[in-house]
Structure 1
Amino acid sequence: MNIGGSMTQVLVIEDNSQIGHARRTAQNLAQEHGFDATDAGRVALVATELASNILKHASRGELHLRVIPRASGAGIEMLAIDRAQGFDLHACLADGFSTGGTQGIGLGTVSRQAEVFDVYADSRGAVLLTRLYPRTDKAADRRIGISQHSLHQDPACGDTWHLAFDGPRISALVIDGLGHGEEAERAARAGEKAYAMLPFDSPLLVLQDIHLSMTGTRGGAVAIAQFDAGSDALKFVGIGNIGACLVAPDKSRGLASHPGIVGGQFRKAQPFDYAQVSGQLLIMYSDGLQSRWNLADYPGLVHRHPAVIAAILHRDFCRGRDDVTVLVIALEAAHG
């Protein structure tokens, strides 16, 4: 199965009138992707509660929406993100508790309606994750998180990503086309198209195909990671400034890339092999994200859903002057 890159849809929540817009947007998105009236109604309810919760305890925040392609159909991901003071999660999940003078049914309702519910909150703010799938879709949730945003909400994004799944194997791509805007997007999409043809081929051969496809465009930075749960090993090759690291609860290590421009010039490309990586997080990101972050500064975050991690890294470390992509994958056999 292949999942092509797409941007995160961002809805600003800072006024009561925007709650209804969030509800309608999420419900329409669900209906467009095969949710029946009942399941689309669940999506609408959760969107309403998440947007309301932002206003209740933070006054302002964002609702991030994403479609999650599946082997059959799709799911809807919604993240409520704010920068307010932390709140008592366990108390807020209890029905009847409220900090905003309301009935306090919000988060308890959300956790029961969503197939996936996770949250991280500290003094820097909160991120609440929900994923909803049609009731007929019994496939397991993939522990992968993506946050991708264009500069100034431009409809064109010079970053792209792609994921491929084949039994116990995962192949992941991140490309950052030089600059931003339509020409950068054209370069990145040319590379993604080549990658999607044979994502599990030798990484050097895949990189060469991408290079040929991006020749004649602006070119860009490229990173490819291939994980095999069967052999518990990861291969990585990168050209340019795509950041990548493996994060375990007790340590973190960076994955080395070579200088150069794919589609332009680079001297060499050498894949690196990493063994015994199961249970770790693979994090790949374009240079729209600052590199001086450390998950250890967020106690317990390494154990949260990858979508929560991706959202927090984007919230706290986005440079604000380029397109940005953050891809987080929990390396585990369950993806197969």
Structure 2
Amino acid sequence: MTPGPGGGPGAARPVLAEPTRAVPIDHFSAVHLAAATARTLARRCGLPGALPDRAAVVASELASNIAKHASGGSLYLQRLPHGEGLEIIAADRGPGMRELERCLTDGYTTTNTLGAGLGAIRRIATTLTIRTRAGTGTLVCARLAPPHRTTDAERPVGSLCLPAEGERHCGDAAAVALTDRGLTALAVDGLGHGAQAEEAARAAVRCFHRMPDADLPDLLAAAHRALRHSRGAAIGVLRLRDDTLDYCGVGNVRVALLSADDVAHRLSGQPGVVGWNMPPPRVRRLVAPAGTTAVLHTDGVDQRWSRDPEPFLLRLPPPLLAAALVHGFRRGRDDATVVTVKTPQPTAPQPRPPRIETPQRPR
């Protein structure tokens, strides 16, 4: 792991992330809105040169695909969960793509159009991740990062944060930090809705960014002090390092550990409210073998998703898993936040080159 609260020397200074922008693609007019939103967010993320216009192309192509071929689709646009850049995720409940590799080829089309589509997105995006299933739908994540920060787009971290339907303010928040002590993720649910809940959530995130490598109980204790004059919040924080996961939470924030075949563990926070009546926080440690995915979410995502999930859901990469949970299991009347992180697969040892000995000439 790299040191420092922002992910190591030269890392970007932590920014209080804004809620995810959701653009429902229920009509072709939404394609223009998606493109304009992507361009604006890319500029706010500081993407240089032509990258904001390229982000608009990516959003336009993904939205057009949903409008032409699918139903129940949306685009989710936001800053990268960790680092510098923009993330554009498309999720739908359409028929899926039967020939994904052909769809990624320039010029391929099923609707007699120019066929730029996914081929253009693959050329533009820093990273492109797609999962599709016939009869279920398609999930696409395109990340765009500045040329000097391309590794930020490759991190196996996903996060979405959405306000309740009809709300301008979001009482949920999330943050991720990479330090010597591991990857630490935070999910906050400010009590109630509106501006006061949002301020409580933001205060917790500011506190987290000041001390992301602290012991987890100390993080919650600091948040408790910071939120004393606020509405209070439910907070869950996890730390993933090597093959272990530590979780510490108060209130209705849940964590689940997923293998490729099942949900291995489910935990919820201790009863209480951070900022008001928080009990002494305790840490629960779980074994997290390589390839395990940890999901941290507020109660704006229906916990029933974890009771009998399909293998397709369990095996999604973190960015797509976060989108699938929000898109498929969000409670519209509540703010909703999901953070997903994955333990790295062990690196295969590189074979040593054969030793070559040069015979010496006899003297």
TM-score, with structure 2 as normaliser: 0.83
Q: Is the 8 A contact 1:56 1:99 kept in 2?
A: no
1:24 shift after superposition = 2.8
Question: Aligned residue for 1:190?
Answer: 203
Please, which runs of 5 or more residues in structure 2 have no aligned partner? 1-5, 7-13, 347-363
1:167 shift after superposition = 4.2
Q: 1:173 to 1:100 in 2, by over 3 A?
A: same
Alpha-carbon distance in 2 for matches of 1:201, 1:166: 10
**2:185 equivalent to 1:172:** yes
**2:97 equivalent to 1:87:** yes
**2:257 equivalent to 1:246:** yes
Letter in 1 for 2:127: V
Question: Aligned residue for 1:7?
Answer: 19
How do 1:95-110 residues align onto structure 2 when only pairs under 5 Å count? Answer: 95-110=106-121
Q: Greater CA deviation, 2-11 or 179-188?
A: 2-11
Letter in 2 for 1:274: L
Alpha-carbon distance in 2 for matches of 1:268, 1:133: 41
1:295 shift after superposition = 8.8
Alpha-carbon distance in 2 for matches of 1:12, 1:212: 39
Question: Aligned residue for 1:112?
Answer: 123
Question: Aligned residue for 2:317?
Answer: 305
Question: Aligned residue for 1:272?
Answer: 284
**2:301 equivalent to 1:289:** yes
Higher Rg of the two aligned structures: 2
Q: Secondary structure at the match of 1:85?
A: coil
Q: Is the 8 A contact 1:239 1:269 kept in 2?
A: yes
Alpha-carbon distance in 1 for matches of 2:203, 2:44: 27
Alignment equivalent of 1:67, drawn from 79, 82, 97? 79
Letter in 2 for 1:87: M
Q: Greater CA deviation, 160-169 or 279-288?
A: 160-169
**2:49 equivalent to 1:37:** yes
Question: Aligned residue for 1:147?
Answer: 160
Q: Is the 8 A contact 2:256 2:295 kept in 1?
A: yes
TM-score, with structure 1 as normaliser: 0.89
Letter in 1 for 2:302: Q
Q: Is the 8 A contact 2:159 2:174 kept in 1?
A: no
Q: Secondary structure at the match of 1:293?
A: helix
Q: 1:103 to 1:211 in 2, by over 3 A?
A: same
Q: Greater CA deviation, 115-124 or 236-245?
A: 115-124
Q: Greater CA deviation, 170-179 or 274-283?
A: 274-283
Alpha-carbon distance in 2 for matches of 1:215, 1:36: 41
1:302 shift after superposition = 3.5
Alpha-carbon distance in 2 for matches of 1:60, 1:242: 27
Q: Secondary structure at the match of 1:250?
A: coil
1:276 shift after superposition = 4.2
RMSD: 2.4
